[in-house]
Amino acid sequence: MSSIYDKYEAVIGLEIHAQLQTKSKAFAADSTEFGVTPNTNVSPITLGHPGTLPRLNEKVVEYAVRLGSAVKANITYENQFARKNYFYADLPKGYQITQDKTPICTGGYITIFPHTDNEKKINITRIHIEEDAGKSMHDQDPFNTLIDLNRAGVPLVEIVSEPEIRSSEEAYAYIAEIRKLVRYIGICDGNMEEGSLRVDANISVMPKGSKTFGTRAEVKNMNSLRNVQRAIDFEIKRQIELIESGGTVEQETRSFDAVKGITFSLRSKEMAHDYRYFPEPDLQPVFVEQDYIAKVKNSLPPLPNELYTKFTQELGLSDYDASIIIEDKDIALFFNELIELTNNFKAAANWINGAVKSFLNENALHITDFPLQPKHIAQIITLIEENKISNSLANQKLFPTLIENPEKTAEELAQENNWLQESDDDALLQYVEEAIAKYPEKVEEYKNGKKGLIGLFMGEVMKLSKGKADPKLANKLVREKLEQ
């Protein structure tokens, strides 16, 4: 069944603002710390006092170059700054310092749904440096808007995509990839709820197969990945229904209401802005040299896609295992260290994606707070490989005990607690004989074809040995005895 919605295709471009994790602001030395007393992280520069001069933070350039390198963008040699003029109470100077004609990065791309049939490159138009505005609070006082300037001047990069995104799912994937990337390269915490990563979406619709884009609306205020997806879906539907009922889409800014799940018009057309950009005369240009770019590039940690390729192609992990390991940067780096200490890559992946992650989830911990180090996990893997401990004993006893005693080695603990497996044939043989002697009639049934009964004897052997019997060897011995 085809509906009116199937006749149209959506065209989406995203602008993402990422707050850079610097100690001090972009053009002033006040602290960028989040959540402090209002109007305390301020200086005469931030407050826009006359006679003050901005000066760019070197980390801001470094972080922008890191991001540009990670998305394979061109880095601009001569960077100029510009004033974007508008009057608003949370913008003390009456202009925002930004980059207009010389964004620090141009080009580059993000790959969405990597390593799947839906893999697609979304090209990046530009990435530029700018400063954040202060915060306006409209709902705390019935008669006034309250202004907190702590955020004013915090460094941002704005990442502008080409209008190549075609659905809310693609938009979601694009933002998720960017968020993962900025976290990997350590330039932004990626927290959408707290506003350190903010997304504006330019959305239009056109008849399928058309080459001409429709008029776009810009949607703001979507403070989670889920809300971006909801807002885009609503906006696409709204525009199609508007066109189908004979109306036209207005070029306007809309806001997303997460409670009602709708977008609504924020500014009318006659109030359209004119930012009157002009070069910022207080800031000399910044030149980014090739050797500087090379240095920054070399300092980048391994990127998620590089790790994916390494894990699948060099280590032979499955797409599934590799994909979930790279999802979180710190888990990926933990794993990357672990595989330097063991050659059993599959076991390493199983430990990380199994016992380690469930421990972290149960205790609401991040891997950076995990008491064990990669070497501990490697020790456990080695003990299992050498048949010194059974997999289940390692999981149920050794792993939790090691977490309590991370100053010891896995082998020390296993020894102290008498968990080391008995692969000594004589001791084991005795348990096997005992187990078989206990159920003479079951032995008959086994011999008559009920092979499943082997489990019963194995259970008995494990019980007698208090779980320390090497299951492989025990299984072999039980079989041999029964078939005699």
Partner 1 sequence: MSVDIKTVERIAELAKLQFNNEAKEKIQADMNKMLDFVGKLNELDTEGVEPLIYMLDEPQRLRKDEVNGQVTQQEALKNAPDKDSDYIKVPKVIKQ
| Contact call for residue 37 and partner 1 (CB under 8 A) | yes
Cα separation, 206 vs 212, whole angstroms = 7
| Contact call for residue 89 and partner 1 (CB under 8 A) | yes
| Contact call for residue 5 and partner 1 (CB under 8 A) | no
Interface residue with partner 1, options 18, 61, 303, 352 (CB under 8 A): 61
Q: Are strands 253-257 and 217-220 parallel, antiparallel or unpaired?
A: parallel
Interface residue with partner 1, options 8, 11, 18, 30 (CB under 8 A): 30
Burial of 211 (0-12, 13-18, 19+ CB in 10 A): exposed
Span interacting with partner 1, options 85-93, 117-125, 300-308, 362-370, rule CB under 8 A: 85-93
Instruction: Please name the residue ranges forming H helices in 185-263.
Output: 225-244
Helix (H, G, I), strand (E, B) or coil at 438: helix
| Contact call for residue 19 and partner 1 (CB under 8 A) | no
Residue pair 453/446 in contact by the 8 Å Cβ criterion: yes
| Contact call for residue 137 and partner 1 (CB under 8 A) | yes
Q: Which is nearer to partner 1, 5 or 287 (CB)?
A: 287
Q: Which is nearer to partner 1, 263 or 421 (CB)?
A: 263
Site residues (CB under 8 A) for partner 1, limited to 331-360: none
Closest approach, Cβ 227 to partner 1, in A, equals: 20
Residue pair 433/481 in contact by the 8 Å Cβ criterion: yes
Furthest-apart CA pair in the chain: how many Å? 100
Interface residue with partner 1, options 64, 67, 147, 372 (CB under 8 A): 147
Cα separation, 308 vs 320, whole angstroms = 10
Residue pair 131/98 in contact by the 8 Å Cβ criterion: yes
Interface residue with partner 1, options 59, 120, 237, 357 (CB under 8 A): 59
| Contact call for residue 23 and partner 1 (CB under 8 A) | yes
Sheet holding 82-85, edge to edge: 95-98, 82-85, 278-279
- Beta-carbon contacts of 217 under 8 Å, excluding residues fewer than 6 positions away, are 202, 203, 204, 235, 239, 249, 250, 251, 252, 253, 254, 263
Closest approach, Cβ 302 to partner 1, in A, equals: 24
Q: Which is nearer to partner 1, 38 or 467 (CB)?
A: 38
Q: Which is nearer to partner 1, 41 or 390 (CB)?
A: 41
| Contact call for residue 88 and partner 1 (CB under 8 A) | yes
Q: Which is nearer to partner 1, 39 or 423 (CB)?
A: 39
Site residues (CB under 8 A) for partner 1, limited to 252-291: 273-274, 276, 279, 281, 283-287
H or E element at residue 336? helix 329-338
Helix (H, G, I), strand (E, B) or coil at 343: coil
Binding site for partner 1 (CB under 8 A): 22-24, 28-31, 37-45, 47, 55-59, 61, 80, 85-89, 136-139, 141, 143-149, 273-274, 276, 279, 281, 283-287
